[in-house]
Structure 1
Amino acid sequence: MKQIRLFLLSVLCALIALPAMAQDSKGIQFFKGTFAEAMAKAKAEGKPLFVDFYAVWCGPCKKMEKQIFTLPEVGEYFNKNFVSLQLDAEKPENVDIAKAYKVEAFPTLGIIDGEGKALSINVGYMNAQELLDMAKTAMGEMKGFEQLYKEHRQNPNDLTIQQELLTMAPQFLTTQDGMDAEKWVVRVRKIYQKYIETKMADNSLINRKDYIIIGYLGGDDDETTDRLVDYISTHLDEWLAAVGEPAAYYVVEKNDERMLKLVKKGDASYKDYLEKIRTDYKKAYDVIKFTNVTPYDKSRDYYNALFAIYKNKDVAEYLKLMRKYLAGLGADANAADYAMAAQSLYYAADKKLRAADHEQAIEWLKIAIPSEKVLMNKINYLVMVGDSYRELKKYSEAEQYYKQAYGESLQMGELQQAQQMIQASVLHKLSTLELLMR
């Protein structure tokens, strides 16, 4: 009887396992083992290694695992051509491997040859077609970046080749190191600038593919970016039809970056770009809706406040204008607005803060903390409050906020390196505070 029971149990286990095995076989079959073991297997089979560098907290990683890696067409191609591995990049034993392949965000999807050289590195969520295109390019079934670059050299005025080349450039550049990286960055920047200027001249730039190129590669050259902002603003209706509101946000973002850069240098010419908010760029800024204030009034109070403190270290004027700015936003003000007001006060005022100024910073941060969703930001705000209380010699309050910051850091279990650094810093502040309290 015992033997019969054991036999039936084994049959039952097999029957339970069969559907799961069938389901798994439809998608990518990931190797179970270490990176070194997967590399050895790939080399022995004469295949590249596909690595999904993930973090357990990463939402897009989980989405790819459930919705993309399980697709039959993806599994069929990857199982035939690669040894595949999923690697938790934040585990201690994998941290150095992740660094070697420049993994700084998740997911990072890499294809690595048998000698350990990265053939392709892509950062961020990919749909099935994008993932297959990446894989086929690495396998030589589709044109690679360097092949396209040779075609570009032979046909330097072919805009179709340039568009394809620039679309692939961000992914290709992540695989380059040292002097090679610098060389390719210079080449790509040169192609990008010429491409943008040519397509602005004949009005063929207004399309989704080129907008994606601008989003990935634009911003390094201030002069080109300035012309792009003016061009998008001038043709905003066409851009809105082609890509939607992101086109307007591009104008707003780049103009705001330009004003902030000038303000921090103490350059009063930021006012020229401030004026554009109610003239040249009005239609773009009108996409952003506020309840009680216009985009121009909001920006005027904000940048005038920053100019007062960066240029003249005029804390009193800064506080007056920043309070006006926050009051104007009213219910539209969020955690970042209040935290930014405090941070700018700390960073730009240097050692000129009075007790009342610290009290104001604390008040703003206490408004920001409860609604802040990003854990790292929340910890930073708590530490800043603690620092201000320490400056006010309110040591018990400072201790309370430092301990709260430490407590919040305990939620960073999977971000071990960042957690250790934060906790070491907070513990140092607490030990220093203990000496002051004696």
Structure 2
Amino acid sequence: MNKLKHILLSLLLLLIVQPVSAQQEQGIRFFKGTFEDALKEAQRQNKPLFVDFYATWCVPCKKMEKTVFTQPEVGAYFNERFISLQLDAEKPENVETAKKYKVEAFPTLGIIASDGKAISINAGFVQAAELIEFAKTALGEMKGFEQYWEDHRKSPQDLGIQQELLIQAPRFLTTQDGMDAEKWVVRVRKLYKSYLERKMADGSIINKKDYMIISSLGGNDESETQQMVEYINANLDKWISAVGESAAYYIIEKNDERMLNLVKDGNIKYKEYLEKIRTDYKKAYDVIKLKNTTPYQKSLDYYDALYAIYKDKNVSTYIERMKRYLDTLGEDANGSDYASAAQSLYYAAASKLRPEDHRQAIAWLEKAIPTETVIMSKVNYLVMAGDSYKELKDYAAARKYYNQAYAESLQLASMEQAQQMVQGAITYKLATLDLLEK
């Protein structure tokens, strides 16, 4: 009887454990060890290395880890062909490796040969199908950029070849250095421009692949960008049907950029683009859902406030309008809204700020700092708050914010040059406080 119980118990444990083990085996099996150890294992098995360069604070990194790397088809593909490694790029022992492979954003995904040479590097979140396509291209299972370029030279009018070239161009350009990089950028820009002209002429540009090309390669030329905004807006229903509301947000983003640039130049022409929010671009802006105001009123309050400080250097009017803007937003206001309000105050009128203006800036920053996840931005906000406290002669509070900024900058280990510059500036500010306190 005891033996029977033991057998039944063993079977029950197997039933409990097996699903968990199966789930663990479905996705990518990541190597446990250092980059050097993983590279040696890649050499031993004669496989390339797949590296997920991540940061502990990176939300898209965590999303990929939970929703992409765990998918069965991803695991089946990568486990057979790669030694896979997850590397915290900001750990001191990994900083040089991250620098070598030009890791400047997270996540960054690298396909690296067993001799350590980068085959392909991709920055940013990708879905499972895109990840597999990225790997297949790197392994030569799918055509890569240079192969498509040879095809393009043979058939220069083939739009299908051009489309594949332009889709792969951003990833390819990240692997180029110096004169080679400059040469390829010129070639890609020329091809991109002619491609857009032909595809817009016959309307065949309205599809997901071409939208991806526009999003990744567009924006360098102002008139070209405005032309694309008008084209998408004129065909917005078709674009939304093809790619979703991101097409509307493209119009919003570019129109907002235009208004911001005009306002910073003190150019009243921003009013023309402001008016488009409730006329020409209304359908696009209608995708923004606000509880207490409208997209037009929100933009009116915001850009009118900015114009007051950039054009007229009128700090009082700016603060009055910006407070109204934030109050009207109510629960729709987020940390970046408060940070933007403080930043514009500093950038446009720092030397003209009165004590009460510094106190207002601090109040806005204190709402922005707790929710900020981008380290460089958080450091910037902390330093600005410290600067205002220094102007108010509250040196203890200034020191507290500078020290907190320095502590946050320790997370910038993978960006060594930027980290050194930031820490040098903060150290100087702390030294200045020592002199002021004597």
Return the TM-score normalized by structure 1. Answer: 0.83
Alignment partner, residue 339 of structure 1: 339
Corresponding residue number in structure 1 for 2:305: 305
SS of 1:193 mapped into structure 2: helix
Residue pair 2:375, 2:412 contacting (<8 A) in 1 also: no
Say whether the 8 Å CA contact 1:233–1:281 is kept in structure 2.
yes
Q: Distance in 2 between matches of 1:341 and 1:415?
A: 30
Residue 277 (structure 2) pairs with residue 277 (structure 1): yes
Give the equivalent residue in structure 2 for 1:398. Answer: 398
Q: State the distance in 1 between where 2:35 and 2:341 align.
A: 46
Cα distance in 2 between the residues matched to 1:434 and 1:166: 55
3-state SS in 2 of match to 1:109? strand
* Structure 2 CA distance for partners of 1:414 and 1:63, relative to 1, 3 Å: farther
Partners in 2 of 1:320 and 1:23 — Cα distance? 56
In the aligned structure 1, how far is the partner of 2:236 from the partner of 2:264?
A: 29
The residue type equivalent to 1:282 in the other structure is: K
Contact 1:57–1:414 (Cα < 8 Å) also in 2:
no
Corresponding residue of 1:211: 211
Residue 76 of structure 1 deviates from its aligned partner by 4.8
Identity between Structure 1 and Structure 2 (%): 64
Give the equivalent residue in structure 1 for 2:8.
Answer: none
Distance 2:392 2:215 in 1: 45
Residues 334, 21 of structure 1: CA spacing in aligned structure 2 closer, same or farther, 3 A cutoff?
closer
- Counterpart for residue 225 of structure 1: 225
SS state at 1:219 partner: coil
In 1, the alpha carbon distance for the partners of 2:140 and 2:373 equals 44
Single out whichever of 42-51 and 336-345 deviates more from structure 2: 42-51
**Shift of residue 79 of structure 1?**
4.4
Q: Deviations over 1:13-50 (max 9, x none)?
A: xx9xx979987766555444443444345446544333
For residues 66 and 363 of structure 1, the distance between their equivalents in structure 2, rounded to whole angstroms, comes to: 37
Mean CA deviation greater in 29-38 or 154-163: 29-38
C-alpha contact (below 8 Å) 1:335/1:368 kept by paired residues: yes
Alpha-carbon distance, 1:268 to partner? 2.9
Please list, as runs of the form range in 1=range in 2, the aligned pairs for 1:330-369 lying within 5 A after superposition.
330-369=330-369
Between the aligned partners of 2:236 and 2:22, the Cα distance in structure 1 is 52
Change (3 A) 1:312 1:118: same
Question: In the TM superposition, what are the counterparts of 1:14-33 in structure 2 within 5 Å?
Answer: 28-33=28-33
Q: Tell me if the contact between 2:376 and 2:409 (Cα under 8 Å) persists in the aligned partners.
A: no
How far does residue 282 in structure 1 lie from its aligned partner after superposition?
A: 1.6
Instruction: Give the Cα separation in 1 of the matches to 2:366 and 2:90.
Output: 32
Match of 2:153 in 1: 153
Write the distance in 2 (CA, Å) between the matches of 1:292 and 1:37.
Answer: 56
Q: CA deviation at 1:416?
A: 9.6
1:89 counterpart residue number: 89
Question: In structure 2, the residue corresponding to 1:110 is in which secondary structure?
Answer: strand
The 5 Å alignment of 1:126-137 reads 126-137=126-137
Residue in 1 that maps onto 2:3:
none
**Structure 2, gaps ≥5 residues long:** 1-13
Q: How far apart are the structure 2 equivalents of 1:50 and 1:414?
A: 22
Which of 1 and 2 has higher RCO (CA within 8 Å, sep 6+)? 2
Question: Which secondary structure state, in structure 1, belongs to the residue aligned with residue 193 of structure 2?
Answer: helix
Describe the SS at the equivalent of 1:106: coil
Instruction: Tell me the residue number matched to 2:326.
Output: 326
Q: Is the 8 A contact 2:89 2:414 kept in 1?
A: no
2:188 maps to which residue? 188
Query: Aligned letter for 2:302?
Result: Y
Taking structure 1 as reference, are residues 260 and 27 closer, same or farther at Cα in structure 2, changes over 3 Å only? Answer: closer
Bigger shift: 197-206 or 29-38? 29-38
Deviations, residues 100-119 of structure 1 (Å, cap 9, x unaligned): 11112233221223443321
Are the equivalent residues in 1 in contact too, given 2:262–2:269 (CA < 8 A)?
yes
What is the RMSD computed on CA atoms of the aligned residues? 3.3
CA contact (8 A) 1:56 1:414 kept: no
Using the alignment, how far apart are the partners of 1:318 and 1:52 within structure 2?
Answer: 45
SS at the partner of 1:351?
helix
| Deviations 1:321-363, CA, capped at 9 Å, x for gaps | 3233334334433222222111111111141222232232233
Q: Is the 8 A contact 2:342 2:361 kept in 1?
A: yes
Q: Matches of residues 49-88 of structure 1 in structure 2 within 5 Å?
A: 49-65=49-65, 68-69=68-69, 73-88=73-88
The corresponding residue for 2:168 is 168
Amino acid in the other structure paired with 1:437? E
2:76 & 2:373 partners in 1: Cα distance? Answer: 40
Could you tell me which residue of structure 2 aligns to residue 4 of structure 1?
Answer: none
Report how many residues are paired: 421
Specify the SS of the correspondent of 1:312. Answer: coil
The one-letter code matched in structure 1 to 2:239 is W
The answer (yes or no) to whether the contact 2:98–2:414 under 8 Å persists in 1 is no
Q: Could you tell me which amino acid in structure 2 is paired with residue 432 of structure 1?
A: T
Deviation at 1:227, TM superposition (A): 0.6
User: Partner amino acid for 2:243?
Assistant: V
How much has 1:225 moved relative to structure 2?
A: 0.8
Partners in 2 of 1:256 and 1:245 — Cα distance?
Answer: 17
Matches within 5 A, 1:399-418: 399-402=399-402, 409=408
Aligned residue for 1:103, secondary structure, equals coil
Correspondence for 2:250: 250
Residue 103 (structure 2) pairs with residue 107 (structure 1): no
Following the alignment from structure 1 to structure 2, what is the Cα–Cα distance between the partners of residues 415 and 162?
35
**Structure 1 unmatched ranges of 5 or more:** 1-14
The answer to whether the 8 A contact 2:95-2:414 is kept is no
Counterparts of 1:158 and 1:97, CA distance in 2:
40
Measure the CA separation in 2 of the matches of 1:413 and 1:35: 20
Alignment deviations for residues 175-209 of structure 1 (CA, whole Å, 9 cap, x no partner): 11111112222222222222222222211222222
Q: Secondary structure at the match of 2:84?
A: strand
Aligned counterparts of 2:338 and 2:168: Cα–Cα separation in 1: 39
